Structures are given as C-alpha cells and as structure tokens.
Amino acid sequence: MLTQEEVGAAKQRAAAALAEAGIALTPGEHAAIEVADFGLSRLDEIGLELVVYVNTERVCAKELVLFPRQTCPEHRHPPTGGSPGKEETFRCRRGVVYIYTEGDPSPNPACRPPDPESGAFTVWHEIELRPGDQHTVPPNTLHWFQAGDDGAVVSEFSTMSTDELDVFTDSRIARETVVRAT
Amino acid sequence: MLTQEEVGAAKQRAAAALAEAGIALTPGEHAAIEVADFGLSRLDEIGLELVVYVNTERVCAKELVLFPRQTCPEHRHPPTGGSPGKEETFRCRRGVVYIYTEGDPSPNPACRPPDPESGAFTVWHEIELRPGDQHTVPPNTLHWFQAGDDGAVVSEFSTMSTDELDVFTDSRIARETVVRAT
C-alpha cells in the first residue's frame, strides 16, 4: 500500500524521466501516469511506472519508466479465450534495461533480484537493452526486468493488455496498486 | 523512380529528424530506413520515410518521418482473410501532422493536397496532432496525412502491416519504391 504522497512523488519522477527522454505527454496523460507497486509497498525496489497510449482489443502501446535498479517482477501472459496470450516487444529509449527470460541462464548476470531468497525469480537468460535495442517476448513466456544504475525508459508494443490475467511467480503479488487514504 | 543518391539523401534527412526527436536507432535500423515515393518520383511532395521496429502477425510498430509538407497519399487498409483490416494509432512525437480522414469535412483545412485536381484526396475531416497527441484510424477507413512546415516524426502502433494490400485512391500509386540503377 502506498500513500498518496508516494504515488504523487513517483509520478513526478516518472514524468521527469520521460521528459529527459524527449517524450511529450498531454496534460491528461501526465495526470494518468500509473504507479505499480505490485502490492509489495517497496516501490523503489519492485515497481513500474507506466503511460498507456492505446489499448484496444488488438493493439497496445505504452511507455515504461524504471527508476534506478527498479525491478518488474517475474510473470507471464497466459493464453486466454482463443488468444495465445500477450506478445510484447520492449524497446529501450533511454538508460539500460536487463530483461531476464526463459533460455540458457547467463553465467554472470548484471542484476540481483530484490528478494534473492524468495524463489520468485526463476529465469536467468539475460538480454541487455541499450537505447535503440529491443527484444520481443513471446506469449506465455516467463520474464522479469530491472533497470541499470541510471534507470530506464522503455517503449512496449504489444497485443491487448489484460494486466489482471498476468501470472506472477511471487504469489504475494497483486497487480493493482492500492493507495492508502490519508 | 528514385536514384540511389535521392534515396541516400532522404535516409540521411530522416535519420537527422529522428535524432533531433531523441529517437535512438541501431546501425542496422539506420541502414534499413525505408524511403517510399509511392511510385510517383516526387518524394518531397508525396512520400514517407519509415523505420519498422517490429511487424509480427499480431503487432507492428514504426516511426514515420515526414519532411516539411510531405504528404502520405490517401489510402485504406481493407479486410483480409478473417481480419477486419489494419488498425493504426498515430502519435506525434515532433513537429505537427495533419491527418485527414472520414467524417465531417473541416471548413478551413490547414493543408493543400499535392495534386488538388487529381481527385485522389477525398476525405477532409482534419485532425491536428502536436507532440503528445494521437489518433486511432479504424480498419478500412480512408485517411491521408501531411506534415506542417517543419516536418514531423510520428510513431505508429498497429496490427500487422501488409503494405501490399493497401488500397490507394490514386490508382497510379505503387507502394514499392523502385530505385534506378546508376
């Protein structure tokens, strides 16, 4: 659970990161920046800031902001009602982001998970993305990612987002951010 | 038909516009910038420069560069084999772009088509996009667009691109750029 002040401060930080990346938002988009703490109340370590540009039944596009070393926890997008599951392409715009996904584990990964003993980070095939680099994660494939020391801005191009259907390895995770009334 | 020199110069101009917009490309993407003259050999008036980031069976994302007052001619994306046709969202990143689409004609449009007498520009509902603004064009809907006096960089988020299936109002148009051997 985050306080309104914490959410407001995270929105301002995310907006500043997007502005530094040269990405223009409308005032409405600025106000609607989403702050996801995955229900763990440790936003700086485990969290994600998002601007959703479009999310129709067919296409979704977003900007993701990661604070320095902030981690999006491990999850997959399972098949649902006739669809094979969400397909996502991540394109780094600023900073560095390390994506971990299924495949041969990398011997010397650049990241440590926030909870090494939690068992919630199980895939270790590392893909390093710098500005201009991108990677497509197929449907129903486990992945997690972490920004480098200076944070990252990452564009996501995908099929429809249905966050509530995502399957997280850490069973404590809830995708919906709860803001504490003050 | 364009000469290799014309294509090379257009690629350099497009790359410069993308760099000014803060958009990083890999060397491979830089080399693969697509220059489309729609077979009319009047690139500065009727044309488009593109970087295709991803184009799978489900999702496509591109950057479009328009030179000052350059026009993408009127077309639609028809239904094909079980799909309702391509759905496109245009998001302005830099400059100004005017999209013309089906709907009430705008009384004082900001653009003149390159060939007013050609009959190839039939929809006049104007949507002005400045950085941060976007518009979604539904499948099978006529549209054309032109940049303002300083050109434009526009992101496109869509379903799969199948350019060869596009239907242009101007029957002289061929989507494939032909480069003259020198």
**pLDDT tens for each residue of B144-180:** 999 999 999 999 999 999 988 999 999 888 767 777 7
Average model confidence (pLDDT) across chain B: 95
Residue A171: its pLDDT value, please?
A: 87
For residues A71-81, give the mean pLDDT: 95
Tell how strand A143-158 and strand A60-66 pair up.
antiparallel
For residues A88-104, give the mean pLDDT: 98
Residue B8: its pLDDT value, please?
A: 97
Measured in whole angstroms, the distance separating CA B15 from the mean position of its chain's CA atoms is: 16
pTM (2 decimals)?
0.95
CA–CA distance, B28 with A118 (Å, rounded to integer): 40
Helix, strand or coil for residue B163? Answer: helix
Q: Could you tell me if B50 and B64 are in contact, meaning their C-beta atoms sit under 8 angstroms apart?
A: yes
Picking from A26, A61, A87, the nearest residue to B58 by CB comes out as A87
For residues A8-15, give the mean pLDDT: 98
Q: Which of B23, B63, B154, B155 to mutate to test the interface with A (most CBs of A within 10 A)?
A: B23
B59·A93 Cβ contact <8 A: no
Residues of B within 8 A of A157 (CB-CB) are: 53-54, 59-61, 157
Closest residue, chain B, to A92 (C-alpha): B24
Is the confidence at residue A182, as pLDDT, over 70?
no
Q: Could you tell me if A13 and A33 are in contact, meaning their C-beta atoms sit under 8 angstroms apart?
A: no
**pLDDT tens for each residue of A125-164:** 999 999 999 999 999 999 999 999 999 999 999 999 998 8
**pLDDT tens for each residue of B69-86:** 999 999 999 999 889 999
pLDDT band at B54 (very low <50, low <70, confident <90, very high): very high
| CB contact A29 to B (< 8 Å) | yes
Is the confidence at residue B28, as pLDDT, over 80?
yes
Residue B65: its pLDDT value, please?
A: 98
Residue B182: its pLDDT value, please?
A: 58
Write the CB contacts of B92 (distance below 8 Å, at least 6 apart in sequence): A24, B129, B130, B131, B132, B133, B134, B152, B153, B154
Residue A174: its pLDDT value, please?
A: 72
- Rounded to a whole number of angstroms, the distance between the first and last alpha carbons of chain A is 12
ipTM of the prediction: 0.94
Is the confidence at residue A177, as pLDDT, over 80?
no
